[in-house]
Amino acid sequence: MNFEFTDDQRAIKRTAHDFLAARYKPETVRAIAEDPEGFGDRQWPELVELGWPGAIIPEADGGLGLGVVELVVIQEEMGHALAPSPFFSNVCATALLLAAGTDAQRERWLGPLAAGEARGTVAVWDEYAGWSPARSELEQGPDGTLTGTKIAVADAATADFVIVAGAGAAHYLVAAGAAGVELVPEQPLDPTRKLSTLRLEGAAAEPLALARDPIAHAYGTIVTALAAENVGVAQRALELAVAYAGDRKQFDRPIGSFQAVAHRCAQMLLEVEAARSLSYWAGWALEHDPASAGRAASMAKAYAGDAGFRVTASALQVHGGIGFTWEHDLHFFLKRAKANAHAFGDARWHRDRVADLAGI
């Protein structure tokens, strides 16, 4: 088996790395994070020029027709740059539309999504029931309208529609500006990704097809992409820590020469590489090995969720006192890693799912 990237995948990774490094310098990320409106339309056209909004949309629908592995490549670089972009939220909505959208929904939305003319997001967290694709507090009226509250909906303020998760495999498409739809800004842990509370009160909704296996595959794609983003976040934190350990001196020696610091950095590298391997395996399995895809995706999400926070927290320790300050950029990486660890199921939830899938 060949574990190397193809030429196209290497080109995507190189382009993504260079583009994001140039567009999202630390001062730019900080400015967007501290702006209440967050990511604005001024940055979106540049992503559209690369075709990324249509990355996983088939060519027949106007997209690039890329696979999950290519998506993982892009997501890792998005995490490395800490890009404050609605790209991931848009991917989530796209994946569910591709999995269970009706013909009319696909015709209405896939073209505009691929062209960057429309954006979507996904609402899964119930106000009290938490994260669980199996159940929901959402109530559906006899006329098909929805009533209920979803929290921690990423990038909803700039989305054109929201795919709302109901009980079981039920999902609904709700237009963001429809009657009975209210968005309330939240105070997120990660300021680079804006969150909203979505309140529905008799809101018109279009049900997606009830397709359990395709929807499970879509969520596998979503959590794998999020795991890859945490890999990029952790990789960047590791790089910052190693650079600082080489520059900062104590007793006329770089602190990286002391075993305590060197061993901490080595452990960080081990965790980054393990998380990367799991993420790319999950991406491959989602395309080529459906029997193990669900287990692989949850393993990647669980490990990368924990590793992302452990690595960024260790990087903060390497930096010492300056790492705890607001002026240093490291706290943005730590917050993104922690927020990603909880989004779409935390490590405990995904480990339980791995056990269930393995028959333990």
Mind listing the pLDDT tens digit for each residue in 329-351? 999 999 999 999 999 999 999 99
| pTM of structure | 0.94
Instruction: Quickly count: other Cβ atoms within 10 Å of residue 355's Cβ.
Output: 12
Three-class SS of residue 149?
strand
- For 138-187, the pLDDT digits (tens) are 888 888 899 999 999 999 999 999 999 988 789 999 999 899 999 999 99
Q: 27-41, 128-142, 263-277, 293-307: which range is least confident on average? A: 128-142
Q: How much is the average pLDDT of 126-149?
A: 78
Return the pLDDT at 41: 64
Return the pLDDT at 323: 86
Q: How far apart, in whole angstroms, are the C-alpha atoms of residue 338 and residue 328?
A: 17
Smallest Cα–Cα separation from 131: which of 203, 219, 204? Answer: 219
Residue 130 has pLDDT above 80, yes or no: no
HEC per residue, 267-321 = HHHHHHHHHHHHHHHHHHHHHHCHHHHHHHHHHHHHHHHHHHHHHHHHHHHHHHH
Smallest Cα–Cα separation from 158: which of 39, 31, 30, 50? Answer: 39
Return the pLDDT at 132: 61
Return the pLDDT at 339: 97
Return the pLDDT at 211: 87
Smallest Cα–Cα separation from 53: which of 112, 4, 10, 7? Answer: 112
Confidence of residue 37 (pLDDT cuts 50, 70, 90): confident
Q: 4-18, 35-49, 129-143, 233-247: which range is least confident on average? A: 129-143
Confidence of residue 275 (pLDDT cuts 50, 70, 90): very high
What structural domains does the chain harbor?
A: 7-115 (1.10.540.10), 120-207 (2.40.110.10), 212-357 (1.20.140.10)
Locate 338 and state its tokens.
Answer: 């922690």
Return the pLDDT at 326: 84
Query: Across the chain, what does the average pLDDT equal?
Result: 92
| 128 vs 284, residue with greater confidence | 284
Confidence of residue 40 (pLDDT cuts 50, 70, 90): low
Q: How much is the average pLDDT of 91-103?
A: 97
Q: How much is the average pLDDT of 269-287?
A: 97
Return the pLDDT at 129: 63
Q: How much is the average pLDDT of 202-229?
A: 95
Q: How much is the average pLDDT of 85-95?
A: 96
**Count of all residues that appear for the chain in the document:** 360
Residue 139, amino acid? E
- For 6-33, the pLDDT digits (tens) are 999 999 999 999 999 999 999 999 998 8
Return the pLDDT at 151: 94
Q: How much is the average pLDDT of 217-239?
A: 98
Percent of the chain with pLDDT over 70: 96
- For 41-83, the pLDDT digits (tens) are 667 898 999 999 999 999 999 999 999 999 999 999 999 999 9
Residue 97 has pLDDT above 60, yes or no: yes
